[in-house]
Structure 1
């Protein structure tokens, strides 16, 4: 990793993009198709799109962008968390020529229209936020609405006529997941947390964050698990005081950090130097793994994350980013 600095608007973008909509969503599904068209039922209604779209706009941040690239489609444009700093799993040459817009700012509908797309595909959250009716005036618009990255991938490929490919690859992932779960066995536990700028500590217990969700799929018990008294959870995340670091009682600690956020490295250094931090069991045992919380986009990201989690869970050594975390008392 390389340390990068962001201004406050981008930091706010990270918070916004992690939000969950109260929109009632339905999974995307194909209801019919012909040689030239495909009819899609989704959260906002029923839409007919070209059977083989050539000019696609993606409104689902890095996850949807990665899934489209894996489907062989390079979109004309995509919204992302950080236009200047894509995750390492998305190679620069993959997005050469793609217009990247920050998901924190208002997307220019005029610019999208000027690109003359033949289909707009987005996650239900972003399609709703930008405006389905407005987008539909530009091009046929559809929305994926999976409960996790695997479901989003399957829905995206189904919309593109690649359902069989998705089924095969998802089956391979599920087989790998089952094998990993069997390898781990029982009685494996962990904690998942993040330290944000301002020394704000958050714990994670479940989706929509991929790391706690995938750990649960592996059969790992999370501490805290969300049932603790006084834990104010929202979308699987709760902020805690330093005095409640005792909640991080798992034998393995996963920290979800990002070295692009201004002030985050300083906060991590300060919190990790606190005596209360040193009392965390995983810290004392040297079982702390730092993961890039924006570094695992889409289905390719889930596959990579599975490998990284298994490596960490099977290892007794501390894992950390050499650039950002060297010398910290993790």
Structure 2
């Protein structure tokens, strides 16, 4: 209520795509020309990624994941919203991968958060490449994951098909999605 006294409070809906949220917000603010330019830039980036990595996108399975060492759990962030898993919230990783046309892991057997205990790491063996999300440069979770023997046995890890995406990328709009798309670009570069 205090914020509304200062200015309108505009929220985003986590069950909608970033495009739906951005369209609604730009309409409310009267900023549709800015939105149109940003979406054009995003679409051009996606088209560029698709054209440069067409073969890898068509033939490889990739996944974005994060690791929680204190819970000994991996979260597959690139799983799409699914009736099967009950996942309802869209994330930049799954939205951008869908825009690129990439293929991720099958949702079978994952819960609505894409959780996988460290002991189940072998379920990732058919994935060709991993993009690991960490919050910032001081985040050591990737180092801890890299030290794990089960992680080291995965074929994609042994082949060096792993990249790190730094920053808070679990929610966001156009800028987050452009950043994540560039992360997928980096990952697909390991497969070319």
Name the TM tier (shorter chain). 0.7 to 0.9
Q: CA deviation at 1:219?
A: 1.6
* Residue of 208, 215, 224 corresponding to 2:97: 215
Report which structure shows greater RCO (CA 8 Å, sep ≥6): 2
- How far apart are the structure 1 equivalents of 2:96 and 2:115? 21
- How far apart are the structure 2 equivalents of 1:304 and 1:278? 27
Q: CA deviation at 1:283?
A: 0.8
Q: Which consecutive unaligned segments of at least 5 residues does structure 1 have?
A: 1-108, 126-145, 318-330
- How far apart are the structure 2 equivalents of 1:161 and 1:274? 50
Secondary structure of 1:277's counterpart equals: helix
Secondary structure of 1:222's counterpart equals: coil
Structure ID, larger Rg: 1
TM-score, normalisation: structure 2: 0.77
Secondary structure of 1:240's counterpart equals: strand
* Residue of 168, 179, 188 corresponding to 1:313: 188
Given the alignment of the two structures, is residue 233 of structure 1 paired with residue 111 of structure 2, yes or no? yes
TM-score, normalisation: structure 1: 0.47
Cα gap change, 1:260/1:123 in structure 2, threshold over 3 Å: closer, same or farther?
A: farther
- Contact 1:150–1:302 under 8 Å retained in 2: no
Q: Over residues 105-143 of structure 1, what are the superposed CA-to-partner deviations in whole Å (9 max), with x where a residue is unaligned? A: xxxx45x36xx3242211246xxxxxxxxxxxxxxxxxx
Q: CA deviation at 1:280?
A: 1.1
Q: Which consecutive unaligned segments of at least 5 residues does structure 2 have?
A: 82-89
Query: After TM superposition, where is structure 1 displaced by more than 6 Å over at least 4 residues in a row?
Result: none
Counterparts in 2 of 1:179-194, with a 5 A limit? 179-185=48-54, 186-194=58-66
- How far apart are the structure 1 equivalents of 2:61 and 2:147? 24
Which structure has the highest strand share of the two? Answer: 1
Q: CA deviation at 1:286?
A: 0.8
Partner of 1:98 in structure 2?
none
Secondary structure of 1:123's counterpart equals: coil
Question: What is the RMSD of the two structures over their aligned residues, measured on CA atoms?
Answer: 2.8
Q: CA deviation at 1:250?
A: 1.7
Cα gap change, 1:246/1:217 in structure 2, threshold over 3 Å: closer, same or farther?
A: farther
Q: CA deviation at 1:299?
A: 0.8
Which structure has the highest helix share of the two? Answer: 2
